[in-house]
Amino acid sequence: MTVFHVSAECYPVAKVGGLADVVGSLPKYQTKLGLTSKVIMPFYNNTFTQQHEFKTLYSDTLWMGYAIDYRILTLEDNSLGYELYLVDIPHLLFKDYVYSSNDTDRFLAFQIAVLDWMLQMPAPPDVVHCHDHHTGLIPFMMSQSHKYAPMRNTPSVVTIHNAQYQGWFSHDKVGLIPEFNFYNVGLLDWNHTINPLAAAIKCAWRVTTVSPNYMEELKQRANGLESLLQYESGKCVGILNGIDTSVWNPKSDDYLVKNYNLSSIVSGKKANKDWLCEQFDLNPSLPLFVFIGRLVGEKGADLFPYIFDVTLRNLPVSILMLGSGDKGVEHRLEQLKPAYKGKYNTYIGYNEKLSHIMYAGADFLLMPSRVEPCGLNQMYALKYGTVPIVNAVGGLKDTVVDIAEGGFGVRHYGLSVEQVVEAIHRALYFYNDTDNFKKNRKAIMQIDHSWDASAEAYNTLYSSLKK
Ligand code: ADP
């Protein structure tokens, strides 16, 4: 069976967040299970594409009210562990960013190019697996657009990594979508606008979310799509993401200052923590709490300046923050620095290497998310022996059990400054219970969140769709 993952991101080619990690690793594990799993994504102008050689497999012109030339490229070497294809549309996709505020034409052209190319393949895919709203019109076009009628019996699956973003655009642009029976235009619509994520939920053969709990939450709150998900619940299922242990493993992670395993955990974590403390002028004798991620409301970032201020004023801890996003939050986080020299620092921006060293060197990882479809950071933290402190939502609830409930992490139930500070208090109390804290570190490193089980679950889902 051949499956094509269609996505805007894929690690290491282009990454903005967890979507890239998932699309970059799931195919490897599916391949291990005997499936032919491939990825197709846009060709961006970034470090990866500048540093690699590509060969052209196909070139043609697509129609979106005017003719647009495109090429399908593939990597010269097959170093990723699965076949990767890139759609090159120079004047639309070839930018040094993945997303902007005006992406409708870019991602529509990408999706049309993908289907046009698949249509002429001698052996078309058995399953087309789309990811998030950027590829959400594919299930609609496969089932409705006249030119793709030969693909009508090909199953399509959509995975929702984040339902907040839906790719809305005006009906004025409906003419850009390849011709379809206009009686069915309602399949594109949700609340009087074209909504690619809603169209995907209506038209895909199966809908998955990246954790079981997130699927249940979406039926109650999905940025307007809750009733649709309730109505379509028969074809919906939550499958927990895994982590790619060939990339995320303290034993072999090339980014780390020192690698470690269960028997060298103390010295290994210390070496990484010492490096962080030296680079960021932090006192290494204090327990280190870190945050890594996008500074947006979904991650609870608007509360960080208050949480950090109260915590640093009252508790013997240090905090290191890596992320970027809301400019106001970035600014407020920077302003805290002079007040807490030696206890607090920030890195505003994206830094893959630093993130790995932080998972390794930290004692605790903060994830006070308001919304967390799955969350990978808490699973990386566990693998690196770092205790996660999480708001019990979405995938965080599926993966982190509180120490008070016989578990290994710290949960708070709801997001306020008081709740997070109270959780940090409990974490500190746990840290000072040195023997149990050390035992817990070893235990969490052994929790298995690798992709094996999840890849198997996706394969079972595809098999259930066989004609
Ligand atoms: P989301 O996809 O909502 O951003 P996830 O927890 O699913 O959140 O995935 C986040 C991924 O992005 C993790 O691999 C995390 O380490 C990485 N990441 C986020 N922000 C940064 C950053 N500023 N620098 C380095 N890595 C980051």
Residue 240 Cα to ligand 1 middle (Å): 17
Ligand 1 pocket: which of 253, 294, 353 to mutate (most atoms <8 Å of CB)?
Answer: 294
Instruction: Please return the burial class of 166, using the count of CB atoms within 10 Å of its CB with bins 0-12, 13-18 and 19+.
Output: buried
- Residue 375 Cα to ligand 1 middle (Å): 9
Ligand 1 nearest-atom number relative to CA 322:
23
Atom of ligand 1 nearest to the CA of 16: 12
Longest CA pairwise span in the chain (Å): 68
Which residue has the CA at smallest separation from atom 20 of ligand 1?
A: 293
The SS3 assignment for 390 reads strand
Q: For 314-342, how does the pLDDT look when each residue is reduced to its tens digit (9 = 90+)?
A: 999 999 999 999 999 999 999 999 999 99
Radius of gyration (C-alpha) of the chain in whole angstroms: 23
Cα 18 to middle of ligand 1, angstroms: 6
Nearest residue (by CA) to ligand 1, atom 24, is 350
Query: 198 near 166, Cβ under 8 Å?
Result: yes
Closest by CA to 252, choosing from 268, 238, 240, is: 268
Pocket of ligand 1 (CB under 6 A): 17-19, 21, 292-294, 322-324, 350-352, 355, 374-377
Q: Which distant-in-sequence residues (6+ apart) come within 8 Å of 22 by Cβ?
A: 131, 159, 161, 210, 241, 376
CA 377–ligand 1 middle distance (angstroms) = 7
Distance 293 CA to ligand 1 centre (A): 5
Tally of helices (H runs) and strands (E runs) in the chain: 16, 17
Q: How far is the CA of 14 from the centre of ligand 1 (A)?
A: 12
Give, using CA atoms, the residue closest to atom 7 of ligand 1.
Answer: 18
- The Å distance, Cα 294 to ligand 1 centre, comes to 7
SS3 label, residue 81 = coil
Residue closest via CA to ligand 1's atom 21 equals: 293
**Domains delineated in the chain:** 2-242+452-465 (3.40.50.2000), 262-445 (3.40.50.2000)
Among protein residues, the one whose CA lies closest to atom 17 of ligand 1 = 17
Mutate to test the pocket of ligand 1, among 214, 350, 378, 399 (most ligand atoms within 8 A of CB): 350
Pocket test for ligand 1, best of 21, 134, 329 (most atoms within 8 A of CB): 21
User: Closest ligand 1 atom to the C-alpha of 11?
Assistant: 14
* Ligand 1 atom 2 nearest Cα: 18
Specify the residue with its C-alpha closest to ligand 1, atom 26.
352
Token digits for 152?
């009508």
Spacing, Cα 374 to ligand 1 middle (Å): 12
Position in ligand 1 atom list of the atom nearest CA 210: 7
Residue with tokens 């630093």: 354
Closest ligand 1 atom, CA of 22? 7
Q: What is the pLDDT of residue 467?
A: 63
Ligand 1 centroid distance, CA of 351 (Å): 10
Q: Distance (Å, rounded) from C-alpha 224 to C-alpha 232?
A: 14
443's CB contacts (< 8 A; 6+ apart) are: 408
The answer to whether the CB of 155 falls within 8 A of the CB of 462 is: yes
Structure tokens at 378: 């808490």
Per-residue pLDDT of the chain (467 residues; tens, 9 = 90+): 999 999 999 999 999 988 999 999 999 999 999 999 999 999 999 999 999 999 999 999 999 999 999 999 999 887 899 999 999 999 999 999 999 999 999 999 999 999 999 999 999 999 999 999 999 999 999 999 999 999 999 999 999 999 999 999 999 999 999 999 999 999 999 999 999 999 999 999 999 999 999 999 999 999 999 999 999 999 999 999 999 998 999 999 999 999 999 999 999 999 999 999 999 999 999 999 999 999 999 999 999 999 999 999 999 999 999 999 999 999 999 999 999 999 999 999 999 999 999 999 999 999 999 999 999 999 999 999 999 999 999 999 999 999 999 999 999 999 999 999 999 999 999 999 999 999 999 999 999 998 999 999 999 999 999 76
φ/ψ of residue 259, rounded to 5: -80, 155
pLDDT digits (tens, 9 = 90+) for 356-403: 999 999 999 999 999 999 999 999 999 999 999 999 999 999 999 999
d(Cα 212, Cα 237) in Å, to the nearest integer?
A: 7
Task: Assess contact for 148 and 116: CB atoms under 8 A.
Answer: no
Q: Which of 99, 296, 355 to mutate to test the pocket of ligand 1 (most atoms within 8 A of CB)?
A: 355
Cα separation, 82 vs 12, in Å, equals: 13
Which residue lies with its CA nearest to atom 27 of ligand 1? 293
Q: Give distance in angstroms: CA of 21 to centre of ligand 1.
A: 9
Tell me how far CA of residue 376 lies from CA of 19, 292, 359, in angstroms. Answer: 10, 11, 12
| DSSP assignment of 205-269 | SEEEESSHHHHHHHTT-STT-HHHHHHTGGGEEE----B-TTTS-TTT-TTSSS---GGGHHHHH
